[in-house]
Amino acid sequence: MTTSSNDAVSADVAENLTAVSARIRRAAETAPAGPVPVPELVAVSKTHDAAYVRRALDAGHRVFGENRVQEAVEKWPALKADFPDTVLHLIGPLQTNKVKDAVALFDVIETVDRPKLARRLASEFESSGRRPRCLIQVNTGEEPQKAGIAPGDTDDFVRLCRDDLELPVVGLMCIPPIDQDPAPHFALLAKLAERNGLPVVSMGMSGDYEIAIAMGATHVRVGTAIFGPRKPRPAA
């Protein structure tokens, strides 16, 4: 995308935040099973540069999501220094060699998805003294190429993380298959969270967050509807 088209949407970040927040509130008030608490809006700022993301901070927003540790490490320390009450969520895959950086920077790690990672997190929490809250990513569609614990393995994995490794596990997250109705996936995630006594359910993106709220989301992760189209990443 060109700089000029990014500028075209950039002036609207504050307006977009207001509009999305209003839609979130309305979805919570009109949930089919009765009103639910208004979910937290995680503003997904991946690919957008710090100066642009700052518009959302200036508008008063404080909860953000990034999906790449390296990008977040380059972008967020300065922003967090200026806005210390920021809450930063990692919403993308976490490689074990990035655990140290991730634990130092993020406040919530939404993508705990395998025993090896859980063990590395436990030891890094121990040595750093930092304890970001953890969500377990569930591969509700059981897609081979997608990260996450299979639904049938979720209870055991929660037990391993929470009881054996003593990670601060607070909830579950999912990314439904792109080509399917997300509602059954959201329903499954909410059910797994409830069964395990986990209060946080992270689900719903720009295209489906109102459905997710109706199905019990406590956190929605919204990027495009706030920041506009993502910039192409530089070639690796």
List of residues contacting ligand PLP (CB under 6 A): 44, 46, 67, 91-92, 175, 205-207, 221-225
The amino acid at residue 101 is D
Give φ, ψ of 229 to 5 degrees.
-60, 145
Q: In terms of CB distance, is 165 or 220 closer to ligand PLP?
A: 220
In whole angstroms, the minimum distance from the beta carbon of 223 to ligand PLP comes to 3
| Nearest-approach distance from CB 206 to ligand PLP, in angstroms | 3
Amino acid at position 26, single letter? R
User: Cβ distance 193 to 200 under 8 Å?
Assistant: yes
**Whose Cβ is closer to ligand PLP: residue 24's or residue 222's?**
222
Smallest gap from Cβ 163 to ligand PLP, in A, equals 27
Tell the smallest beta-carbon distance from residue 129 to ligand PLP (Å).
28
Give the chain's count of helices (H) and strands (E): 10, 8
Distance between CA atoms of residues 166 and 6, nearest Å: 43
**Closest residue to bound ligand PLP by CB:** 223
Please give the backbone phi and psi of residue 167, each rounded to the nearest 5 degrees, phi first: -75, 145
Comparison of 125 and 209: residue with beta carbon closer to ligand PLP: 209
Within 48-182, residue ranges assigned H as helices are: 50-58, 69-82, 99-105, 115-128, 154-159
- If the CB atoms of residues 111 and 154 are measured against ligand PLP, the closer one turns out to be 111
Whose structure tokens read 């919204």? 222
Nearer to ligand PLP, 151 or 223 (CB): 223
Q: Compute the least distance from the CB of residue 123 to ligand PLP, in Å.
A: 25
